[in-house]
Chains A and B, each alone.
Chain A
Amino acid sequence: MSLDPITLSVIQAGLQQVCDEMDLSFSRAAFSPVIAEANDRSDGIYDAQDGALIAQGAGGLPVFVGTMQYSTRTLIEMIADGCVAAPQPGDIYIVNDPYLGGTHLMDVRFALPFYRNGEIYCWLSNTGHWPDTGGAVPGGFSASATAVEQEGLRLPPVRLFKQGVLDTEIYSIICSNIRVADQRIGDVRAQAAALELGAERLGLLLDRYGDSVVTEAIAELRRRAAEQMRAFIAQIPEGPHESTAWIDSDGVVDVPLAIRLSVRREGDGLSFDFSGSSEPCMGPMNSVRATTLSSVYLAMRHIFPEVPISAGAFEPLYVTGIDGTFLDAQYPRPVSGCAAEVSQRIAEAVFAALVSVLPNRVTAAPAGTSGNFALGGHDPDRGRDFVMYQLSGGGYGGYSGGDGLSNGCSTIGISKAPPVEIMEQAFPVLYHRYALREGSGGAGAQRGGFGLDYEVELRRGSATASFVMDHGRTGPLGALGGADGAVNEVNVWQNGAPYTPLHLSKEQNIPLQPGDRVRVKTPGGGGYGDPFTRAPDLVAEDVRLGRYSTDQAHDLFGVVLDDLGAIDVTATNKARGKE
Chain B
Amino acid sequence: MTDKARLVAGIDVGGTFTDLVQIDQASGAVRLAKVPSTPGNQAFGVMEALRQAGSDLGALDLIVHGTTTTTNAVLERKLSRTGLITTMGFRDVLELGRRTRPQAYGMTGQFTPLIPRDLRLEVPERMDASGQVVTPLDEDAVLAAGHALLAAGCEALVVHFLHAYANPAHERRAAALLRDIWPNAHITMAHAILSESREYERGVTAAVNASVQPILARYLDRLTTDLAQGGYRNDMLVMNGNGGMVSARLVAQEAAKTVMSGPASGVMAAAYTGRAAGMENLITYDMGGTSTDVALIRDAEPAVSNEIEIEYAMPIHVPMVDVRTVGAGGGSIARVTEAGLLQVGPQSAGSDPGPICYGRGGSDPTISDANLLLGRLDPAKLAVAGGVALSDVAAIFDTKLAQPLGLSVPEAAEAVIRVANTRMAGAIRMVSISLGADPRDFALFAFGGAGPLHAAALARELGVPRVLVPCRPGITNALGCVVADLRHDFVTTLNTPLDALDPATLDDVFDAQIDRGERMIAKEHIDLTGIRHIYSVDMQFVGQTHLLRVPLEQPNVDLATLQALFEEAYFARFRVKLDRIRANLVNVNTSVIGMRAPLDLSTLIDPAGRKETVAQAQTGTRTVRFDGAMLDTPVYWRDHLPLDVEISGPAIIEQMDCTTLIEPGDHARGDTGGNIVIEIGGAA
Q: A24-B430, A227-B340, A405-B101 are in contact. Are A545 and B107 (CB under 8 A)?
A: no
Find out whether the CB atom of A546 lies under 8 angstroms from the CB atom of B118: yes
Of all chain A residues, which has the CB nearest B405? A5
Residues of B within 8 A of A363 (CB): 107-108
Of the listed stretches B34-42, B359-367, B540-548, B640-648, chain A binds B540-548
Per-residue 0/1 for B73-98: is the Cβ within 8 Å of any A Cβ (1 yes, 0 no)?
A: 00000000000000001111101111
Contact of B200 among A228, A231, A419 (CB under 8 A): A419
Find out whether the CB atom of B105 lies under 8 angstroms from the CB atom of A421: no
A452 located at the interface, meaning its Cβ lies under 8 Å from any Cβ of chain B in the complex? yes
A31 to B90, alpha carbons, bound, how many Å? 30
Find out whether the CB atom of B111 lies under 8 angstroms from the CB atom of A405: yes
Find out whether the CB atom of A430 lies under 8 angstroms from the CB atom of B99: no
Find out whether the CB atom of A228 lies under 8 angstroms from the CB atom of B339: yes
Find out whether the CB atom of A416 lies under 8 angstroms from the CB atom of B405: no
Find out whether the CB atom of A436 lies under 8 angstroms from the CB atom of B544: no
Per-residue 0/1 for A125-152: is the Cβ within 8 Å of any B Cβ (1 yes, 0 no)?
A: 0000000000000000000000000000
B581 located at the interface, meaning its Cβ lies under 8 Å from any Cβ of chain A in the complex? yes
B185 located at the interface, meaning its Cβ lies under 8 Å from any Cβ of chain A in the complex? no
Q: A24-B430, A36-B546, A435-B90 are in contact. Are A29 and B576 (CB under 8 A)?
A: yes
A411 located at the interface, meaning its Cβ lies under 8 Å from any Cβ of chain B in the complex? yes
A268 located at the interface, meaning its Cβ lies under 8 Å from any Cβ of chain B in the complex? no
Find out whether the CB atom of B575 lies under 8 angstroms from the CB atom of A193: yes
A37 to B340, alpha carbons, bound, how many Å? 37
Interface centre among B108, B418, B426, B580 (most CB of A within 10 A): B108
Find out whether the CB atom of A421 lies under 8 angstroms from the CB atom of B162: yes
Residues of B within 8 A of A10 (CB): 418-419, 422
Of all chain B residues, which has the CB nearest A25? B574
Find out whether the CB atom of B581 lies under 8 angstroms from the CB atom of A186: yes
A interface residue count range (under 10 / 10 to 19 / 20 to 34 / 35 or more): 35 or more
Find out whether the CB atom of B199 lies under 8 angstroms from the CB atom of A228: no
Find out whether the CB atom of B106 lies under 8 angstroms from the CB atom of A17: no
Q: A406-B95, A408-B107 are in contact. Are A224 and B197 (CB under 8 A)?
A: no
Residues of B within 8 A of A409 (CB): 99-101
In whole Å, how far is A139's beta carbon from the nearest beta carbon of chain B? 16
In whole Å, how far is A229's beta carbon from the nearest beta carbon of chain B? 9
Q: A6-B342, A232-B338 are in contact. Are A407 and B415 (CB under 8 A)?
A: no
Contact of A196 among B99, B337, B575, B684 (CB under 8 A): B575
Interface residues of B in 630-668 (CB under 8 A from A): none
Residues of B within 8 A of A544 (CB): 118
A8 located at the interface, meaning its Cβ lies under 8 Å from any Cβ of chain B in the complex? yes
Contact of A545 among B96, B117, B543 (CB under 8 A): B117
In whole Å, how far is B669's beta carbon from the nearest beta carbon of chain A? 28
Residues of A within 8 A of B511 (CB): none
A197 to B117, alpha carbons, bound, how many Å? 47
In whole Å, how far is A254's beta carbon from the nearest beta carbon of chain B? 29
In whole Å, how far is A186's beta carbon from the nearest beta carbon of chain B? 6
In whole Å, how far is A441's beta carbon from the nearest beta carbon of chain B? 13
Interface residues of A in 1-21 (CB under 8 A from B): 5-6, 8-10, 12-14, 16-17, 20-21
B384 located at the interface, meaning its Cβ lies under 8 Å from any Cβ of chain A in the complex? no
Find out whether the CB atom of B426 lies under 8 angstroms from the CB atom of A13: yes
Q: A186-B544, A435-B91 are in contact. Are A416 and B108 (CB under 8 A)?
A: no
Of the listed stretches A237-245, A279-287, A300-308, chain B binds A300-308
Find out whether the CB atom of A37 lies under 8 angstroms from the CB atom of B545: yes
Residues of A within 8 A of B541 (CB): 31, 186
B385 located at the interface, meaning its Cβ lies under 8 Å from any Cβ of chain A in the complex? no
For chains A and B in complex, what number of residue pairs have CB atoms within 8 angstroms?
209
A190 to B543, alpha carbons, bound, how many Å? 14
Of all chain B residues, which has the CB nearest A364? B107
Of all chain A residues, which has the CB nearest B684? A208
Q: A185-B581, A392-B99, A408-B101 are in contact. Are A9 and B89 (CB under 8 A)?
A: no
In whole Å, how far is B544's beta carbon from the nearest beta carbon of chain A? 5
Find out whether the CB atom of A366 lies under 8 angstroms from the CB atom of B162: no
Interface residues of B in 504-562 (CB under 8 A from A): 541-546
Q: A28-B574, A31-B543 are in contact. Are A393 and B99 (CB under 8 A)?
A: yes
Residues of B within 8 A of A231 (CB): 338-339
Of all chain A residues, which has the CB nearest B463? A204
Contact of B341 among A8, A185, A407 (CB under 8 A): A8
Contact of B96 among A29, A197, A434 (CB under 8 A): A434
Per-residue 0/1 for A266-287: is the Cβ within 8 Å of any B Cβ (1 yes, 0 no)?
A: 0000000000000000000000
Find out whether the CB atom of B339 lies under 8 angstroms from the CB atom of A224: yes
A252 to B106, alpha carbons, bound, how many Å? 34
B278 located at the interface, meaning its Cβ lies under 8 Å from any Cβ of chain A in the complex? no
A260 located at the interface, meaning its Cβ lies under 8 Å from any Cβ of chain B in the complex? no
Find out whether the CB atom of A9 lies under 8 angstroms from the CB atom of B111: no
Contact of B104 among A24, A29, A399, A414 (CB under 8 A): A414
Of all chain A residues, which has the CB nearest B95? A436
Interface residues of B in 412-462 (CB under 8 A from A): 415, 418-419, 422-423, 426, 429-430, 433-434
A444 located at the interface, meaning its Cβ lies under 8 Å from any Cβ of chain B in the complex? no
Find out whether the CB atom of B576 lies under 8 angstroms from the CB atom of A190: yes
Interface residues of B in 156-173 (CB under 8 A from A): 162-163, 165
Interface residues of A in 349-393 (CB under 8 A from B): 351, 363, 366, 392-393
Residues of B within 8 A of A193 (CB): 574-576
Q: When A and B form their complex, which 9 residue pairs have the shortest distance between CB atoms, in order from nearest? A: A433-B89, A393-B99, A228-B339, A417-B99, A305-B105, A224-B339, A416-B98, A436-B92, A545-B117
New contact pairs (12) apart from A5-B342, A421-B163, A434-B96, CB-CB < 8 Å: A5-B341, A5-B407, A8-B341, A21-B430, A29-B573, A36-B545, A186-B578, A193-B574, A306-B337, A405-B101, A405-B108, A406-B111
- Enumerate 29 A-B pairs (CB-CB under 8 Å) in ascending A order: A5-B340, A6-B419, A9-B343, A13-B423, A13-B426, A17-B426, A24-B430, A24-B434, A28-B546, A28-B574, A29-B546, A29-B574, A36-B544, A186-B541, A208-B684, A227-B338, A227-B340, A306-B337, A396-B108, A406-B95, A407-B95, A409-B101, A416-B98, A421-B162, A421-B163, A424-B129, A435-B92, A455-B89, A546-B117
